[in-house]
Amino acid sequence: MLPANERLVTCPHCGQKKALLELASGNTIDAIHYSDARTVAPMMPRVLPVQRCPECGKYYLTWNQPYEEGEDYSFERGELFFAEMNEAYEQLKDQLTNDQERHNFHIYVLWAFNDTFFRPTEDESDDVEKPAPTEADYAALQPHIEALLEMHKDENSGQMPLLRAEWHREIGQFEQCIALLENFTVANESKEDIEGVDNGFLKHVASQILEHARAKDPKVFAIVPPERSGC
C-alpha cells in the first residue's frame, strides 16, 4: 500500500478540516471476502464515506463535502463503531437523496455491526477480543436489514437472492434464509454463470450460508474459497 498526500475534508457544521488517508496504490493480496459482501484487504484499506468531525463531533457524508489535497500523509480512515454509525444514521438519514444512498447507508450500518462484534478489520489481528452483541444491538440492526429486504424484495435475479438470504440469516430469520437458498439453487441448477459470476462459486457460497443457517448461527463469516481441482 502506498499512501498519497492526505485528503483534507471540510466539516459542513463547523468548517474544521479532517485529514484522511488517500491511497496512491494498493492491492488485494490477502483480501478476505465475508458473507455480508464486505471485503477486507489489508493492502487496500477502506476510508469510510461517513465521517465524524473531531472538532464538533457531528457526522457528515464525505461525498457531499469539498476537499483539498494536504501536504502530509494521513493513515486516518475514520472507522465508526456500530453505536456511532447508528447515531450517524439518525443525524444524516434526511440527507440521503435516493435509494442507492439509502441502500449504501444501511449496508454501512450492517458492516459496522459486523466489524464491531465479529470481524477483524484492516488493522486488527484475528485474536482481537470483540464484545458480544446484546439484544438491544440486534434490535438496532433489525430496521436496517428490514429496509434492505423491503428495497430489494422483488429482485430475484442474479446474486440478489443470496444477499437477501444472508440478511435474513444475520438477524436470525433462518427459515426465510433457507427457503431463499433452496430456491436459488434449484433456479440456477444448470447455469454456467450468473451475470458474469461463476455459478459454481455462487453455489459454493450458497451452501456455506445454508450450513450456518441450519446451525442457527447468525454471525458473519469469511467465505472459504472453493477447492481448486486438477492441481
User: Taking the complex as a whole, how short is the minimal distance between the CB of residue 105 and Zn ion, in angstroms?
Assistant: 20
Number of residues that bind Zn ion (CB under 5 A): 7
User: Taking the complex as a whole, how short is the minimal distance between the CB of residue 52 and Zn ion, in angstroms?
Assistant: 9
The reply on whether position 204 binds Zn ion by CB under 5 A is no
Distance CA 116, CA 200 (A): 32
Q: Give 76 or 122: the residue with its C-beta nearer to Zn ion.
A: 76
Cell of 20: 484522511
The reply on whether position 11 binds Zn ion by CB under 5 A is yes
User: For 190-223, b where at least 16 C-beta lie within 10 A, e where not — what string?
Assistant: eeeebeeeebeebbebbebbbebbeeeebebbeb
What is the residue whose three cell numbers read 452483541? Answer: 133
Q: Give 14 or 222: the residue with its C-beta nearer to Zn ion.
A: 14
* Residues 23 to 82 in contact with Zn ion, rule: CB under 5 A: 53, 55-56
The reply on whether position 92 binds Zn ion by CB under 5 A is no
The reply on whether position 13 binds Zn ion by CB under 5 A is yes
User: Considering only 4-12, 171-179, 193-201, 205-213, which stretch makes contact with Zn ion by CB under 5 A?
Assistant: 4-12
Mind giving me the DSSP string for 10-59?
EPTTT--EEEE--EEE---TT-EEBTTS-EE-TTSPPPPSEEE-TTT--E
Instruction: Sort strands 193-194 and 197-198 into parallel, antiparallel or unpaired.
Output: antiparallel
* Residues 160 to 179 in contact with Zn ion, rule: CB under 5 A: none
The site for Zn ion (CB under 5 A) is made up of 11, 13-14, 16, 53, 55-56
